[in-house]
Amino acid sequence: MAKVILQRNRKKRLEQGHPWVFQSEVNRIEGDFELGDFVDVYNHQNFFLGKGYINPNSQMIVRILTQNPDEELNEAFFIERIRKSWEYRQRMLPNVRSCRAVYGESDLLPGLIVDKYEDVLVVQILSLGMERRKEWILKGLLTVFEPKAVYLRNDVYVRELEGLQQEKGFWYGESPTEIQIEENGVSYIVDIENGQKTGFFFDQRQNRAAIAPLVSQHETVLDCFTHTGSFMLNACLYGAKHVTAVDISEHAIDTAKRNADLNGFDNVEFVVANAFDYLRDAVREEKQWDVVIVDPPAFAKSAHAVRKAMGGYKDINLNGLKLVKDGGFFVTASCSYHIHADMFQKMVEDAAFDAKKILRQVHWSGAGYDHPKLLAANEGDYLKFAIYEVHSRM
């Protein structure tokens, strides 16, 4: 294999377990290679650091698969990695039938996402190196999971940055593209063909369960950015008296209604509206709820968008806090990687000051067990989730 020799003056990220080699870290490449080939990576003293696949057209020129010089990168390697990923989920989430089954870099399979919906797998292949090993990946998925069908959701722009085309459709077998799953005792209808990402956001599994004590005494709940109703449904399950679910997407609200009907919940008011406007109007009308939840989509898709995004987060958190009854609870989240935890907490503090509220932190977390994070890779630290008890300052 070709050898990638790294610069002398670089951060020792690979030695700490980070799976990416950036273009700026490379001193030279010895030997011939084709795009997507496996390569060995060495430091400037010719000390072996890892094996991975190379794509000079990507900012991440090499993505590391193993740091073991004796490990062969072949079909058996991929099958075993997929097996270990599934064994981890089975240990952390006993009897789980639907979850994120392979989480890219965190499962040492960079560029590969696999979500399991009952007996159907939905796959995203995000890099050229993984695209070239599609047959090995499929063999691994069929061997480990024995699924009824495998659906590709390769309809993401990042593939184009790798020189790949966008695509979606069944890769193996066939099934309905709407699948019913269960999580935390709640049933959901998941659209694997047209839903966001692969159809469902598994990363909030533990966070959805964390709201149980907030609503267990028949409180009223406002759920903004409800999407297909995951927090709304959990609130109903845990005993909420009445829930107001708000989303700008009519399609999302229609799905949320179907999910409520599926679970037999008839105590929900559904509102199709811009959540920013709804929150402002509700403040003006002096409405209040026992629990207010704001779980928006990512506002900052890049570092350049952070300043504007922080303004958006401040707006919804400020107005959301004003709508919480004294002694009630405020639930807030951000899935923007570029909004770091300290920035997010400072924004909440500023919003509380302006809203004349005193907050007591009840819960703070990130993504759930099926979304583990490599300690050396901050890029995986994207989700911030917090619950605060809210008291008026005056």
> Position of tokens 């010719």?
46
Residue 203: name the closest of 340, 335, 377, 379 by CA.
Answer: 335
154 within 8 A of 124, measured Cβ to Cβ: yes
The phi, psi pair for 377, rounded to 5°, reads -115, 95
Q: What tokens appear for 292 in the block?
A: 């207010």
Residue 38, CA distances (Å) to 31, 53, 188, 234, 280 in order: 12, 4, 41, 45, 54
Strand 324-334, strand 178-183: pairing: unpaired
> What are the start-end ranges of the H helices in 155-288?
158-161, 205-209, 212-215, 230-237, 250-263, 275-284
Rounded Cα distance, 334 and 294, in Å: 9
Strand 220-224, strand 242-247: pairing: parallel
Write 261-264 long-range contacts (CB < 8 A, 24+): 262/180, 262/187, 262/188, 262/189, 263/186, 263/187, 263/233, 263/236, 263/237
32 within 8 A of 53, measured Cβ to Cβ: no
- Is 236 catalytic? The answer is no
> Position of tokens 């390697």?
77
Residue 187, CA distances (Å) to 77, 145, 365 in order: 35, 22, 24
4 within 8 A of 26, measured Cβ to Cβ: yes
141 within 8 A of 147, measured Cβ to Cβ: yes
Residue 372: name the closest of 119, 60, 184, 99 by CA.
Answer: 99
23 within 8 A of 48, measured Cβ to Cβ: no
End-to-end CA distance of the chain: 69
As annotated, the active-site residues are 335
